[in-house]
Amino acid sequence: MKKAPKAYNTANPATDQLILDLAEKASSTQTVDLLREILTTIIKLGAESQDRRDLKLVNSTLKELRYSFKVFSPYRNVKKVIIFGSARSKATSAEYIMAEELARKLTQKGYMIVTGGGPGVMEAGNKGSLEGKDFALNIRLPFEQKPNPYLNEKDHLINFKYFFTRKLIFVKETDATTLFPGGFGTNDEGFEMLTLIQTGKSKPRPIVLMEPEGSTYWRDWRNFIEEQLVGGGFAKAKDLELFCIKSNVDEAIQYIDNFYKIYHSTRYVDGLTVLRLNKNLSQQTLQKLNLEFKDILISGEITESAPLEKEIREKEYLDLPRLKMHFNLHDYGRLYEMINVINSSTQA
């Protein structure tokens, strides 16, 4: 018999009761347990830390996250695409022009755009977006990064003090990533996105490296990945499936569209990987998946599934069909190949 989990509390019954009373007054029955733990953490932090810098960091972080959730909450059902790229790109540069076109065409198709809010490629993303269809996550820096003037909805602008909270919101609130040529920041954002996916800390998403005609920026970058990372045994060849390089805006949009053609989303539940789909697969396609991708299963087969108990409890896409499997949580390049097979199925 499993032991009951140890209660998370302050070890002061009177304080714990006050926290519970406040949590019950300030939240719904669905979230009271979580709010109680958050409040408990805050009280424990206050009791344990005498360093104002620690408390200031936590305070600023919570404020930034709270406000970000408030801004994005009304738009959670709309797919969003990140546009990353250099703050130093001129308005006449090929990457600026390409980013502006990409933003315009994506928003015309119903997507929303999320940029870093600064000049250069970020500015192009906001400039090209249809009115009200974009967000800007600006980082406060002593130089270079002032909010660009092309965000029409000012309540869609969030100014961050910390890079780590800004990065979290970029990943949490979006569904696809595009990267244009850029400097250390762009490469940092690209590598972090790939790392999060490769380690299962972020759900699968299309990652498109946008390379204007005449540029070899991303092809040279890929050569480095192949020669040094894959060639040196630091990454798997299949990890190259986690991204693609496109030199054409329409092809990039098609790649993003196709990624969600049948595949919808992923959820990890009690050792199972659940793939939610926009429609049922044929038995022939299901057999093909089991034949081609049995190497990434720990045990069992890929099977159709109804929503799992945790998904039902949290009311997550209960109308969608699902596949479930004991994925090894390691070969994400192969998982991307499986998603591609699912999306290319003509018998779904």
Chain segment 212-225, per-residue pLDDT in tens: 999 999 999 999 99
- CA 191 to CA 299: how far, in whole Å? 31
- CA 84 to CA 343: how far, in whole Å? 26
Least confident interval from 28-32, 55-59, 94-98: 28-32
| Residue 143 main-chain phi, psi, to 5 deg | -150, 160
Task: Inform me whether the pLDDT recorded for 331 exceeds 50.
Answer: yes
Return the SS3 of 160: strand
pLDDT for the residue 214: 93
| Residue 302 main-chain phi, psi, to 5 deg | -85, 120
Environment class of 67 (CB within 10 Å of its CB; exposed 0-12, middle 13-18, buried 19+): middle
- Per-residue pLDDT, averaged over 81-90, amounts to 97
Strand partners, 115: 83, 136
What residue ranges do the domains of the chain occupy?
13-73, 77-259, 263-344
Per-residue pLDDT tens over the stretch 53-85: 999 999 999 999 999 999 999 999 999 999 999
Residue 212 · residue 247 · CB < 8 Å: yes
Strand partners, 244: 208
pLDDT for the residue 21: 95
Q: Which CATH class is domain 77-259?
A: alpha beta
Angle at 56 between CA 53 and CA 62, to 5 degrees: 145
Return the SS3 of 39: helix
Per-residue pLDDT tens over the stretch 131-187: 999 999 999 876 655 788 898 788 999 999 999 999 999 999 999 999 999 999 999
pLDDT for the residue 145: 58
Average confidence score pLDDT of the chain: 94
Residue 341: closest CA among 258, 254, 253: 258
Where would I find the beta strands (DSSP E) of 14-144? 80-84, 112-115, 134-139
pLDDT for the residue 205: 97
Return the SS3 of 111: coil
Task: Inform me whether the pLDDT recorded for 332 exceeds 80.
Answer: yes
pLDDT for the residue 148: 87
- Per-residue pLDDT, averaged over 232-239, amounts to 96
